[in-house]
A and B are shown apart, each in its own frame.
Chain A
Amino acid sequence: MGKLLGIEGVNKTYQSGLSSFQALTDIKLDINRGEIVVILGPSGSGKSTLINAIGGIDRVDSGTIHVDSEDIVSLNDNQLVHYRREKVGFVFQMYNLIPNLTVYENIELAANISKSPLTIDELIDAVGLTGMANRFPRELSGGQQQRVSIARAIVRKPELLLCDEPTGALDSKISKEILKLIQQINDKYNTTVLIITHNEAISAMADRVIALKDGKIESNTINKQPIEPEGIEW
């Protein structure tokens, strides 16, 4: 299990008028290939900023972020697009599906820009949406929409799956199903998974738990005995 992600001395400040806000301060972090990492922290702790920087949709002020030995901080916009296409899959709290595309088409949207995507029909079955390929997001429950979002994220077989509060809008039963699905993907494709959440319970399923507070890493602990999502006490 080699290192996939190496973060060194990352800083990020947001300017808003005359005031500024230090979102990340001197972040240093290594993540191994195939790990499930849970980044914990309250609102404003910098966890979304960190995951956006890792995903190449936000830039940092200083420091390096190496993914597979490539420093994505030094990449230009076009190279970042290429990086996101090849290596990253995003899962969002509010699913961010295109409302007027069907389940199949939402996944196809990501598959279209991949050289060798997974088979969409198989993926729909794999995420538990058999028979729902032609439904529109409004015809699905929150949990089902999140399954589509996950399928869209992994159809390009990304090395990194970045999940921003993936269960934030779901009840505990559905949340466990979603987490189970994420774990299955991790198992099946050896995808490195980063989950950001403010729900401490989720950290029980992680290989590594990173706690963020006020933009700084408070703790970085290895979970020696991660449990199955079904066993998480909410």
Chain B
Amino acid sequence: MVVTLWKKLFRTIKEKKAQYLAAWVLIVISSALFYSFTAAGTNLVDNLDTFYQTNHVEDANFVVQDPLKKTDKLEEQFDLQLERRLSVDVPMKEDTIVRLLNETHSIDTYSVIEGRKLQSDQDILIDQGFAKAHDISIGDQLDLSGEQFVVKGTMAIPDYIYPLRITSGFLKNPSAFGVAIVQGDVLKNMPNTHSYYSVRFNQDNKETFKHLLNENNHVLQWIGKQDNNRITFIQGDIAAVKKMGESLPIGILLITLVIILILLWRLMKKEYVQIGTLYAIGYKKSEIVRHYLTYAALLALSGSIVGTLLGWLLMHPLISVFSAYYNLPVLTTNPHAGYLLISLLLPLVFFVPLTYILVRRVLRIPPVILMKGGRIKTKVNKVERIFKLRNLKFAKKFILRDIFRNLPRIGFLSIGVMFATLLLLMGFITKDSMTYLVHDNFTEVYHYKYEYTFNQLQTEPPQSGQPASSIPSAIETKEGDQSLVLTGLEPDNSAIQLKDMDGNRLKFDSVIINKSLADKLDIAEGDKIEVTSQLSNKTFPIRIDHIANSYLGDMIYMPLEQLNQLNDYPKDSYMALYSDKELAIPKEKLASKSLTDNMVTGFEQIIQPLNYGIIAIALVAAIIAVIIIYILISLLIEENSYKISLMKVIGYNERTIQKLMIGYNVWFVILGFFIAIPITLVSISAFLNSITAEMNITIPVKIDWVNIAISFFVILAAYYVTLLLNKRLLKKVSMHEAINKSTE
């Protein structure tokens, strides 16, 4: 492109800096989001994979009735790695438990994040979230169950990447629970140590291995890697980060693309005479095309370079926050050339072809017509003809005509507002859905405070508490095995309370499936399914009587008697007790004890940063809304400057002009907002389902009407801010324009 045309380009951008800057900011935001989220997500996946590989993440852990003998023989026979694990829950202070784990050598080995490795019996390494929550530093002394330990650093282990007290939990609470590693011999001498095994298979022989275990022993608990929320939750969250990085910026780019096309269309329309003159002077079509393409290319490239740089800067804190939230050591951070290149080139790839089509379309107009300022539209459009506007009052007639003549612009305004609303509601819906899941659903379903899990089947009737048994099971589906927990309860159990979808209380004298599992398996009441116990490999048919309105885990509840019968367990036996008050059960009989309160407090801690996140999202959404509405309204004023000027000459005041020319847009802003609500609900539902597919949880999509009202006011405020911003532009339209045009 010739140098002089470059000067024209830069000066045009400078003259319309607000509009171009606004579009540029959108490109920067989208590139920054794209690169930071996708590169952070990929780095996290890489680090997670490396961590799992180098630290040998388990395939499963299990509890057997009697300790395994000759584990080396089993390893050889089944070509697997097997390691005995020891753990003990030690109270540190009131309502705070530290789970001490023994140091392992072949499976779930630890990595030191800060400090040094274990060297003596007094050394202890703790998870970084717990250390931070309790202000524990290297060198501190910890008194745990009478034993004195010296903190030598923080660590990460693959099976506690997300330190949940129970594997089926979903909210960690570092204030109440943490894990620590000590040398193996230390735990052997501590009371109440719980023993289990971690296993890594080299061949697909899990079932035969389990079968052999059950022949001479009894598998009491089997938790596969895929059912262990301590291991799987991070994958779902990384998937969410990556998906967000892939979808959100594309949406912003599409909106920006339309904005830039509108800006260029308007620019070219205004420059018809100049384009015609360039033709007459002897410029080639290709030179003119290049000139106008450069606007889009320049915005796209400069925006993507700045955005990618910001994305690079943003990626590091994002990885840090994520790796700190999960107990993941960050080993390496790579720029990921693929995403870097996409981030740099995506806006260009998006904008250039469509801008090219637009410019070519304009250049199809003969130069003679261009030099006259284009063709004058004399036809009345179809929509306008359908409505008989003649009989209406002037103001209504005027506004309706303007609407009918600018349907694409108005449509885009609604779509733009819809997108901004979608973004805004996304934050609120995430919060509301989480709140529903924990506060409403959790507290509605679980009516106990303590859960005691025994280390073997109990046959003595309990003195207190409500007995239950849970068996990890699976259902064969077309997509593979779907894990679930089969829980047996007494018919009059009140510790867990379930309601059907109509809100009627369900009794445990029937088989009940919870909503999340029913949705995943597409099961209706009355259906029959085949369930396989993951402990014994035994398969048995079950008829589903009811569906419960509960989303926590993938659960099937049935009478305890039926569960014992199906699994050949002794009559009236049970594995767990639910209780409202603390029970005096000897520690040596327990595998674990958990408090439901911890989960709710954990949620409060998680929701706090989410609130800040929602404010940030709301701000970005409001900025996007302001940018879109500002550009469209400023273009509307520019396009109608002659009409506005003429109205001023006739004697209309600015307020009336604003009412006639701009005021009606508020209805399309409102329309965009309300269309966005169902669209957001559907898309968020799809989004949450896709990210929780790998997680043992379903998040029902819920929205609080108060938050809808807040979103509505944010969007409306954005609209009125743009009106204020454009007021100056309206004022600037001079009466000379109309007078000059009429004398030409």
Contact = CB atoms under 8 A, between A and B. Distances in A.
Interface size classification for chain B: 20 to 34
Most buried by A among B12, B282, B283, B368: B282
Interface in B696-744: 744
Contact of A105 (B4, B281, B285, B287): B4
Given A58-B367, A96-B371, A109 B281 contact: yes
B587 interface: no
Given A52-B368, A58-B368, A112-B4, A90 B281 contact: yes
B368 A112 contact: no
A112 B15 CA distance: 24
Nearest to A52: B368
B282 A112 contact: no
Nearest to B367: A57
A105 B7 contact: yes
A58 B279 CA distance: 11
Contacts of A98: 8, 274, 277
A96 B283 contact: no
B8 A90 contact: no
A90 B277 CA distance: 9
Interface in B440-467: none
Nearest to A95: B277
Contacts of B287: 113
Interface stretch (A28-36, A76-84, A172-180, A201-209): A76-84
Given A90-B280, A101-B7, A112 B2 contact: yes
A82 B284 CA distance: 8
Most buried by B among A77, A98, A156: A98
B2 A113 contact: yes
Interface in A35-82: 52, 55, 57-58, 77-78, 81-82
B5 interface: yes
Interface in A85-103: 85-86, 88, 90, 92, 94, 96, 98, 100-101
A61 B357 CA distance: 29
Contact of A100 (B8, B285, B744): B8
B526 interface: no
Contacts of A108: 3-4
A180 B276 CA distance: 27
B274 A57 contact: no
B11 interface: yes
Contacts, number: 77
Given A57-B367, A58-B368, A112-B2, A81 B284 contact: yes
Interface in A159-216: 169
Given A101-B4, A101-B7, A113 B282 contact: yes
Interface string B194-208: 000000000000000
A110 interface: yes
Interface string B15-33: 1000000000000000000
Given A58-B366, A112-B4, A96 B282 contact: no
Contacts of A55: 280
B506 interface: no
B4 A109 contact: yes
A82 B279 CA distance: 11
A157 interface: no
A72 to B, nearest CB: 13
A152 interface: yes
A110 B282 contact: yes
B368 A109 contact: no
Nearest to B9: A100
Nearest to A99: B274
B273 interface: yes
Contact of A84 (B276, B282, B368): B282
B283 to A, nearest CB: 6
A23 to B, nearest CB: 11
A82 B7 CA distance: 24
Contacts of B282: 81-82, 84-86, 88, 110, 113, 156
A120 to B, nearest CB: 11
B2 A57 contact: no
20 contacts: A57-B279, A57-B366, A58-B366, A58-B367, A81-B282, A85-B282, A86-B282, A92-B277, A94-B744, A96-B277, A96-B280, A98-B274, A100-B15, A105-B7, A109-B278, A110-B281, A112-B4, A152-B281, A156-B282, A169-B744
Top 10 A-B pairs, shortest CB-CB distance: A85-B282, A100-B11, A84-B282, A96-B277, A112-B2, A57-B367, A90-B280, A109-B4, A58-B368, A108-B4
Interface of B: 2-5, 7-8, 11-12, 15, 273-274, 276-285, 287, 366-368, 371, 744
